[in-house]
Amino acid sequence: MTTAVVAPVTPERIYQLAWGYAPTLVLEAAIRHRVFDVLDSGPKSLQEVSKETGASERGLSAIMNVLVGLDFLAKDKKGSYSLTPESAAFLVSTKPEFQGGFLRHTSEHLLPKWLGLNEVVATGRPAQAVNQQADGTDFFEKFVNDIFPMSYHVAQELAAHLNLDDAGGTVKVLDLAAGSGVWGIALAQSSTKVRVTAVDWPGIIPVTRKTVARFGLADRFTFVEGDLLSADFGSGHNVATLGHILHSEGVERSKALLAKTFRALASGGTIAIAEFLVNPDRTGPVNGLIFAVNMLVNTDSGDTFSFEEISGWLREAGFVDSRTLATHGPSPLILATKP
């Protein structure tokens, strides 16, 4: 008879998590010192990277070796560093899929406020309520374009699914909390039949306008300034997009927003919701649970929600056929139809 060997409990995971802030800050330091940009032209020695970036060999050696350990860089036997497929695709500043803005958002905007988490948990009050126009305009104005790559491919997948070019006539799209305009832009690119109404705060709409113009789509967009619950959405829209907005609104504002969106859609219209979803008993996925804490720190009533919760609100608003659309984003899209 054999006795099962039980692995001893160790604090190893705690030690790893204690350094959890390090990868984000190391990645950002490498981006700010152009490490990935310099290596995009081919492998280079530490000395060559130092010469091209102007950063110290000591500093570069420390962060670049961490990046090798994290598989964002490779290092050969001669000590030359090179990009991995992941860093070549997402960490070179000149590439369209560059994700460096999200890292800057984390280190500059989020981490300072997360340092007050103890007090936030004690009081239930956020460090800053960025879901409110007074505090949130400056916050969102600085990073909506930084997170454009996070949603662009997902928005393109939505466009492919909707196949708007097959529509009989003009397709009216309502892009709510438009930010950079990424959702409307992707849908407009998919079909010349698309006309977009982009709604956001007065301080954000100039950013939306600029991004839309950069894509050459200004003649197909109308811009509406205002808070989501007071702005005029118009009516008769065929598609409405809510890209990562419900989590900052909380339950009651989300329900009111879905009801207002229902009224703005034409019969047969589709609502598309992007969110960081959690499961019904809130035991995972971990990213969604962490983002709920981010909402605790940054909003007065925000949270993350499950598909079941959101689909229930959609039913209350009058929508039918709540369903998910698998995408390459962190969570599937939620779709529903106005009868």
229 touches 201 (CB < 8 A):
no
* Token couple for 243: 């890209």
CATH number of 133-337: 3.40.50.150
pLDDT confidence of residue 262: 98
**Which residues does residue 332 pair with via DSSP β-bridges, in sequence order?**
none
Domain residue spans of the chain: 12-91, 133-337
Pick the CATH number of 12-91 from 1.10.1380.10, 3.40.50.300, 1.25.10.10, 1.10.10.10: 1.10.10.10
Q: Report CA 228 to chain centroid distance, whole Å.
A: 19
Which residues, given as ranges, of the chain have pLDDT below 50?
none
**What's the Cα-to-Cα distance from 135 to each of 140, 178, 179, 208, rounded to whole Å?**
9, 18, 16, 19
* Token couple for 66: 């961490």
Q: Write out pLDDT tens, residues 15-44.
A: 999 999 999 999 999 999 999 999 999 999
* Token couple for 221: 């967009």
Instruction: Tell me the H-state helices in 285-325.
Output: 286-298, 307-317
pLDDT confidence of residue 141: 65
Our CA angle for 304, 256, 271, nearest 5°, is 75
Query: Torsions phi, psi of 191, nearest 5?
Result: -160, 135
Q: What is the DSSP letter of 108?
A: I
Q: What is the pTM of this model?
A: 0.91
Residue 158 and residue 187: Cα distance in Å, rounded? 8
